[in-house]
Structure 1
Amino acid sequence: MSKYKKMKQLIADMRLPEYRYKQLLDAVFLQGIMRFEDMKLLPKTLREKLVEQFGETVVEIKAIHHEKSMQTDKVLFELSDGNRVETVGLFYKEGWNSFCISSQSGCGFGCKFCATGTLGLRRNLTVDEITDQILYFMQQGCSINSISFMGMGEPFANPQVFEALHDLTAPELFGLSQRRITISTIGIVPGIQKLTREYPQVNLAYSLHAPTDRLRETLMPITKTYPLGQVLDTLDQHIRQTNRKVFLAYIMLKDVNDSDRHAEQLTKLLFKHKKYLPLYHLDLIPYNQTTVTETMVPSSHTRIKAFCRIIHNAGISVNIRTQFGSDINAACGQLAGAYRDDQKQGERTMSAIQEQSFEWLLCPVCKSKTRLKIRKDTILDNFPLFCPKCKSEMLICVKQFHISIIKEPDAQTQSR
């Protein structure tokens, strides 16, 4: 339950009139008042109860470090348990403000080119920790024009993302149109299907990054669970039901996925979905190298343009994405929840890597083993996990390198 629902319940429990809740929300979202004590329209007894239950301010996460470049502001937040996440504000010259927010602290999917993936999964963010990233920038006086779930973590691996979508689009709260929000996924099929049902107008981006399952598996292990064909079929259904464009992200890696042959394989893959091809758009992304992904090298601009030309000549909507923020490690794939102080960034990152472990989980249904990368400080309760082999869903608990299944797949799940 989000804090806004808890605030509404608190007001009801105190037998105060309903308009007090509206006054509270108006103070936050219209007047920008974040300290409860400064909301003078509210009765003192209510202000004291709000401070007692929620702390002095509405924003619960703490900004501990800023890095800025010309059009980018990266903020490192510390959560109540000491975990960290990063959020990026993008300020366009036309006056448009876009914010890239995180859904998890770290990430357990281990994509080879992503700095976040080197950390392992620490934990899911709560609904309030997700929306507080936006509330913080509102507190700084920023207008919120669009939001993308492209920060740390895989959005569809965190059920709280859908609760966050509710708050972000609720007219009395953040009031954003669904079309101002984008969710980027590595291809979690149940998450895509749920988005189609519940938030059909939210923009959807799929991290493609390779034209074949064989290559993509080497870059993104999730492909073994959700191969390209299955994900693209699901995206076809999303387009059919929503009539909304789907964005395909493709990071350009030198001598890995950027040859003419790769471009031809990619056109062949997409033409298998020709019926819906007019509503697919391919974004070619110049790779942003990091200190923990040095084996990956960005393609040259000449190579990217040649790759783009092949795709364009095949009649597929494509462009080369313009990026900024790479100078402060704020661009795509660079967020790692760390900052430079008295230690070098590399030392901090290596320390994080040494505190992670690979553990095996045995599926109760098909008895296959799934390899999970977790950190020593990872704590998860009721975390949904799908067996890569039989697709059974289970709920797991993780604490101090120990994994336990707390809810095994039921008969209905196993029969899918």
Structure 2
Amino acid sequence: MKKQTIKSITRNLLYRFRQIKTERFYLLIMRKNGIANKKVVGEKEWVEKWSQFGLKAKPTQYRVFSHYIGNDINIVPEDICHDFIETILNPMRFRGYYADKNVFDKLFPESYMPRTVLRKMNGTYYDEAYRPIEMTESVFFQILNQSKIDKIVIKPSVGGMSGHDVRLFCKDRDASQSWRDSSTKTLLDLSYIEHYYGSNMIIQEVVQQSDYISMFNSSSINTLRLSVYRSVSDNECYVTGAIMRIGGKGSVVDNAHAGGCFVGIHPDGSFCHEVCNQYGQQQSTFNDIDFTNNYQYPNWYKVIEFAKSVGKHVLHHRLLALDIVLDKDNHPHLIEFNIEGYASWLFQYTVGTAFGDFTNEILRYCLKKQKEIEEVICL
């Protein structure tokens, strides 16, 4: 059997495995939210539209998301988005470099990112200017103290997802070599870094977030997630969806998988009147905040322009999921961007379809480029 045939069979098996896994998850969503698993208006047309890649679209996701945003043929199926659309718009051959958070400071102007204190790349320590460091315990604390920073966040620079292993440390006022985890009070030292973060990590200053955004939960940085698409027709960047994550009381991370919720944001910056968890369960009150009140994201149109400018710096990829924080002066800063695991569901539980007015353009382009899909399996 030829190598290409083996790859094709393997790839198709992976597609179907992921589709089965996705199907099971959305059946769970249906049960949790009392959504009937039966045919709905527009389903036939939706299945036809999204089955053009050769993998028949399962109607389960259409039934789920139409429950939230109405019967819209442009609802994006998560599995087809992952296996076909993301793979074409964000080619795999370029992902490794862009997925490393330690290269972000090379991609963007200095003001875009929180200040980096220390980084470790492929086993070597570097300072904020990428100069290599012979690391010892004393050098480690010297770098932290010379930064004149009182709060730092430590996270994996490669492979971290959903807020896993993101830790916040605060400096003790009375001890130069005493930094404690804000949640567990564990002391920080070099062996801690080596043990928990291995060969790739980044230490950054904690941005003092906007008082307005802090109101929703003061213990977490409540990040804004924006979908940015760089059009194949004019190479301009467009924001196609927006939600804000909100951590649970006392939580350092805001991710929905870690007990947080998220709220949809309309194109004019106004908040939806309900928050949502990862299972699509909605409520109008979270952290004692009543979302039936009219909330508006600060400095909204500057944030949108900032997001578009980020997209213009990532030249190899066209579909980005940005995580943005607003500082105390309501200026936006990029925490990170994602080029895989786009999470179309975040937007489709809340304000509308993931790609909005660009759905047909994206679909046409990806169908045209389908033969260029890179193999997931290397043989």
Shorter-chain TM-score bucket reads: under 0.3
TM-score (norm 2): 0.26
More relative contact order, 1 or 2 (CA 8 Å, 6+ apart): 2
TM-score (norm 1): 0.25
